[in-house]
Every structure is written in structure tokens, then in C-alpha cells.
Amino acid sequence: MTTIGLIGSGHIGSQLSRVAIAQGYDVVLSNSRGPETLSELVAELGPQARAGTPKEAAEAADLAVVTTPLAAIPTIPVEPLAGKVVIDTNNYYPQRDGQIPELDDESTTVSEVLQRHLPDSKVVKAFNHIAWMHILEDAKPSGTEGRRA
């Protein structure tokens, strides 16, 4: 059984958790407010889900998902994600993130910013092209006609 560690459990993280559990994965959810704030979501998700700190989610992860605003990148645990695949769901929103010159002038990308923070991880960009509310409803098995991805 693979464990997916989610660093960020907002709209995207919670939807990805639902899809992962439906496919038989265990999930460890985390956020910046603490595991106790995730008790309702964990109860809804059932026994394949538990809450932890971002460090605990990173340590438990066979596969990690970072789904936080850009401002949170410095808080992402580095050591426990070394050698792991880290899925990056972020998009740059200047109205939320503030102006970031290297993103404005396109000399780097959001995923490159995360990759610099996690030099020993393998950062992969995903889920930034789908609105959070469609993640669960568009989850289809491989081979399904009209499958989105």
C-alpha cells in the first residue's frame, strides 16, 4: 500500500485525498494550522486517512503532494522529502502571492522555485490545470472514453 503525504489540505489536497482513498491509498494530511484542525476531514475520509504535521506527512509519504500557496514554500520540510517524488500543484497568483520578479519575468517557474527548496527531491508539476471541484468528478480509470488525463 502506498501512502500519499499531503502538505496542504485545502480544496486541492482534500479532493486528491478523496480520489487517492477511492483507489486504495492511505493518506496523511497536513496544513499550517495543525493536525487537530483536520479532524472533521479525516473522520469523513475514514480509516485510510490520518492527520499530521507537514513533517509527519513528508516522513510518511511514499509520494508527496505540496499544495500550498507560494508563501509557504520555505516551511515545506526538506530532509524528509529527500529522494522522494513531490507533486507540485501550485500556480502563481500575484494578487495572493505578491509580485515575484523572477516569475513575472519568466526567468523561472513555480516548480523550479519549489525544486530549489527541495534540491534532493524530484518535483513534478501536476493538477494545476484542473479546478479543484473537478478533481473528484473527473477521476476516471485508465482507458475510460473521454478521460481527461
For residue 145, the model assigns a pLDDT of: 78
In this predicted structure, which of 16-25, 41-50, 110-119 has the lowest mean pLDDT? 16-25
Q: What is the pTM of this model?
A: 0.86
Assigned CATH for 3-138: 3.40.50.720
**How many Å is the maximal CA-CA distance in the chain?**
46
The single-letter code of the amino acid at 92 is: Y
Q: Which residue has the higher pLDDT, 56 or 133?
A: 56
Percent of the chain with pLDDT over 70: 88
Distance CA(136)–CA(21), nearest Å, equals 11
pLDDT at 149 over 80: no
Can you tell me the mean pLDDT for 86-93?
91
Domain ranges of the chain: 3-138
User: Which residues does 74 contact at the CB level (< 8 Å), separation at least 6?
Assistant: 117
* Distance between CA atoms of residues 113 and 136, nearest Å: 28
Mean pLDDT, all residues of the chain: 89
Question: Is the sign of the CA dihedral 10, 12, 15, 16 positive or negative?
Answer: negative
